[in-house]
Amino acid sequence: MSPEQSAAEKELAKRTRRSLLAMGGGILAAAVGAGWLASGNYNEGDIPPNFRRVFGANEKLVRSSLYSNNKLAPTFPASAIGKLKVNGEEGLEYELEPEEWRLEVKPYGSSGVTSKLVMADVKSLPRHEEIIEFKCVEGWSTVTKFAGARFSDFTAKFCPGSEKAANVGMRTPDEVYYVSVDMPSALHPQTLLAWEMNDQPLTHGHGAPLRLVTPVKYGIKNIKRIGLIEYTDTRPADYWAERGYDWYSGL
């Protein structure tokens, strides 16, 4: 072995050592980062709070630069309608007598429920139909036709001024299932309080008598059998956000 060659080999070994050390440092930094990500207190079934912060940062970016109520979800011809499956019966466990159902409304700034509406009140609003692609957070989607009243029309008629609230909270009558939705998404022109699906009255499994339908959110936000609507600046509890999912869940 010539002296030049052995010098080169030494140099190569030195460089390799240095690079391996840098990689070791990188692995260490990654481990510290992973520890930070997983740190903090959270309930069983939820995700660590730092992931929640990332969801929040993504939400902020989307809402400030991408989201617009002028952007409509694609609509489809009637021939594309599929069979929407019932996926989740939380809040629907008991039989509800249609004439017993009331929709309680808590307007923005009020301390309690100010009105208890009946179905005829909701149906007095202009009727809208849409054939949209209903998307489940699990990854599947089904083209479905819904008919109902725009949430924005509902708010304007039954609690005008409540559009100023940051969020809308909704619950089933038994309070087992609950969601909250940001106001822009609630006021989106395709966000409906629906009483018909595929030209038939809503079935029990799909949320009779009245459910939320919004193509700008995953199905988890499209609450069935609404019993209460409240307008508030706080963020009312959200069933799946408590179980590790993104609160915003916007599409």
Partner 1 sequence: MQGQQRQQTAGLEEKHKLATRWYHWINFPVLTVMIVSGMFIYWAFDPYRIGVGDFTLIHLFPNWFYDLTHIDRKLAIGMALHFLFAWLFAINGLLYVAYTLFSGEWRELVPDAKCFRQALDVVKHDLGLGPLPPQGRYNAAQRITYTAIVLMGGASLLTGLAIYKPVQIAWLTTLLGGYEWARWEHFWLTMGYIGFFVIHIAQVIRAGWPNLRSMISGYDLAKEKENTGAGRHVA
**Contact set with partner 1 (CB under 8 A):** 4-5, 7-9, 11-12, 15-16, 18-20, 23, 26, 30, 37, 47, 51, 54-55, 58, 62, 66-68, 71-74, 133, 135-141, 215-216, 243-246, 250-251
What gap in Å lies between CA 236 and CA 239, rounded to an integer?
10
**Residue 125 or 143 having the CB closest to partner 1:** 143
What gap in Å lies between CA 169 and CA 173, rounded to an integer?
13
Q: How far is CA 66 from the centre of its chain?
A: 16
Q: How far is the CB of 62 from partner 1 (least distance, A)?
A: 7
**Residue 37 or 131 having the CB closest to partner 1:** 37
Instruction: Note the maximum CA span of the chain.
Output: 98
Q: How far is the CB of 13 from partner 1 (least distance, A)?
A: 9
Helix (H, G, I), strand (E, B) or coil at 191: coil
**Residue 30 or 78 having the CB closest to partner 1:** 30
Q: How far is the CB of 145 from partner 1 (least distance, A)?
A: 17
What gap in Å lies between CA 133 and CA 189, rounded to an integer?
15
Helix (H, G, I), strand (E, B) or coil at 138: coil
- Are 228 and 212 a contacting pair, CB within 8 Å? no
Cα–Cα nearest to 173, from 246, 113, 125: 113
**Residue 8 or 78 having the CB closest to partner 1:** 8
Q: How far is the CB of 78 from partner 1 (least distance, A)?
A: 17
Within the chain, where are the H helices? 3-38, 49-65, 119-123, 151-158, 183-186
Q: How far is the CB of 188 from partner 1 (least distance, A)?
A: 9
Cα–Cα nearest to 92, from 198, 174, 189: 174
CB burial of 173-196 (b: ≥16 within 10 Å; e: otherwise) equals beeebbbbbbbbbbbbebbbbbbb
Q: How far is the CB of 139 from partner 1 (least distance, A)?
A: 3
**Residue 18 or 116 having the CB closest to partner 1:** 18
**Residue 133 or 174 having the CB closest to partner 1:** 133
